Chain A
Amino acid sequence: MSAYKSESNLEKVLKAGHFAFTGECGPPQGANIDVLREKAQHLKGCVDAVNVTDNQTAVVRMSSWAASLVLLQEGLEPNFQMVCRDRNRLAMQSDILGIYVHGVRNMLCLSGDHQKFGNHPESKNVFDIDSMQLINMVKTMRDEGKFLNGQDIDVPPRLFIGAASNPFADPSEFRAYRLAKKIAAGADFVQTQCIYNMKRFRDFMKQVVDMGLHEKCAILAGVTPMKSVGMARYMAKQVPGMDVPEELIKRLQGAGKGKVAEEGIRFAVEQIEEFKEMEGIAGVHLMAIEWEHRVPEIAERARVLPRPQV
């Protein structure tokens, strides 16, 4: 038996003690495979694994498992995302088996945005199980070789199990505890919500470290570079559970016309530099939304290249 849980590249990078760097790729709203392949090429060599979102913000896109397979063909390691909104426990388990046999080794377990936010708000939602139960189901499938009903699996899928954590959502006093609960349920790594309020995040991490959670699970800090003042304002006002301090918005405004994106990247690079030194942080998850082509530059400037070969 291997010393690894999944033998994914991400798992090996983390286990070897490297500072991990993961990226993200939203599948196309259509069957345009060229767009997907192009996004993949920008990320190649810059990241240890690429999150493939699952109908993000409840907007229909190419399925996350199919897009994950395309990334595999392109020589990238996918981090297959699965939300609880669209599938019941049967569909979830069968998709988990399917992606595993095709070579996917990382999986991120999420509740999923409510369909109200998406482009099919009239739809029925599933939420048969929640993200906590999904994490535990994938762990039970891997470590005990059993389906959720207790039945044996003929060749269990061995996946590196990811979870999300939002340090900025409410009730804030419970956030570190909920992370602890996800780790106890089976999370091997955690990617946080986009961080903009560094002070609040430092406080959160202090609590996480005091609880010893960073020793049980690799915590990757979420970074999304701001492209514009409008984006910052939108995130501050419209996205629930997001904390964008006014001073950051002022800083972006102060950059002047045509220089806001550069200032956004500069802030992201500063953040990554701080995360490298922050106790309890094992890496960064860069969510450059529809900005995949800027990832090589950000990675370069944040001095996370070349990526370790393990």
Chain B
Amino acid sequence: MIVAEPKPIKEILEMIEGVHKILVVGCKGCVTVCNVGGSKEVGILASTLRIAGKRDGKELEVGEYTLERQCDPEYVAELEDVVAPYDAVISIACGVGPQFLSERYSSKKIFPGVNTKFMGGAVEHGIWAERCAGCGTCVVHYFGGLCPIARCSKSLLNGPCGGSSKGKCEIAPDVDCIWDMIVTKLMQEDRLDDLLQFRPAKNWTTARDGGPRRMIREELVK
């Protein structure tokens, strides 16, 4: 899933300074699963804004709505009547959400209510970690099913570097060295030859380096 975190309320209040009618829009996709942008969080953020408005003596009307997904035009279209009375929208979906809303409702001011972090998953209750860098050409099978592009601080394809220490990365003691895991796993599987294989320079054109990406599935295009 795409993992996000809430923006500090202070930052949100500064962003919406001067706005009087605002709609908080959640998303039932990834951000609901990582407890940051679902209907529950829409309610919490809306109440917080109302309380802050009252505290500051500001006239602030806050609406609430949660879409099935903000990354799909047919769901975004649902907002047509809901959004009409408002001047602005705070999207608490990932970074895709505010853009789809902005494209569809160009007369409204759109504000992001969360910071989008990464593609990953929950490793423990309340803890999420990055797993995929979206490079566009998956090669995890070379590395025992683990991705050094997303999980090595230097994205080494021929690691580990000299900073690997006791299973941890040099950048911080709470960051696992993915290369330690790759080496340990492949050695256990008796796959030293795979580790000794030279992995050539990667073609990054399928990653963000190749420019903004699009995917066309001819069979689905009407």
Contacts and interface: CB of A to CB of B under 8 A. Distances in A.
Interface of A: 84-85, 89, 111-114, 116-117, 125, 127-133, 136-137, 148, 164-166, 169-171, 173-174, 177-178, 180-181, 184-185, 193, 240-241
Contact of A193 (B159, B162, B170, B177): B162
A133 B163 contact: no
Given A116-B171, A127-B155, A177-B192, A136 B162 contact: no
A181 B41 CA distance: 51
B162 A125 contact: no
Contacts of A166: 162
A89 B166 contact: no
A65 to B, nearest CB: 21
Interface string B155-170: 1111111111111001
A84 B187 contact: no
B221 interface: no
A144 to B, nearest CB: 14
Contact of A111 (B156, B171, B192, B199): B156
B215 interface: no
A170 B180 contact: yes
A132 B59 CA distance: 61
Q: Bin the interface of chain B by size.
A: 20 to 34
Nearest to B170: A240
Contacts of A131: 156, 158, 161
Nearest to B179: A171
B154 A133 contact: no
B180 to A, nearest CB: 5
A114 B161 CA distance: 11
Given A113-B163, A169-B165, A181-B196, A84 B158 contact: no
B170 A171 contact: no
B200 interface: yes
Contact of A181 (B155, B158, B162): B158
Instruction: List the 6 closest A-B pairs by CB distance, nearest first.
Output: A166-B162, A132-B158, A240-B170, A240-B163, A130-B156, A129-B201
B160 A174 contact: yes
A89 B177 CA distance: 25
A130 B158 contact: yes
Contacts of B155: 127, 130
B64 to A, nearest CB: 36
Nearest to A174: B183
A84 B170 CA distance: 16
Contacts of B196: 177, 180-181, 184
A241 B198 contact: no
B75 interface: no
Given A177-B195, A240-B170, A130 B157 contact: yes
Contacts of B165: 169-170, 240-241
Contact of B162 (A137, A164, A177): A164
Given A111-B162, A132-B157, A240-B165, 16 more contacts: A116-B153, A116-B172, A117-B171, A132-B199, A170-B160, A170-B180, A171-B160, A171-B184, A177-B195, A178-B158, A178-B160, A180-B196, A181-B158, A181-B195, A181-B196, A193-B162
A56 to B, nearest CB: 13
A71 B71 CA distance: 57
Contacts of A177: 192, 195-196
Nearest to B200: A133
Contacts of B202: 129
Contacts of B160: 169-171, 174, 178
Contacts of B153: 114, 116
Contact of A130 (B159, B166, B170, B177): B159
A156 B160 CA distance: 30
A111 B154 contact: yes
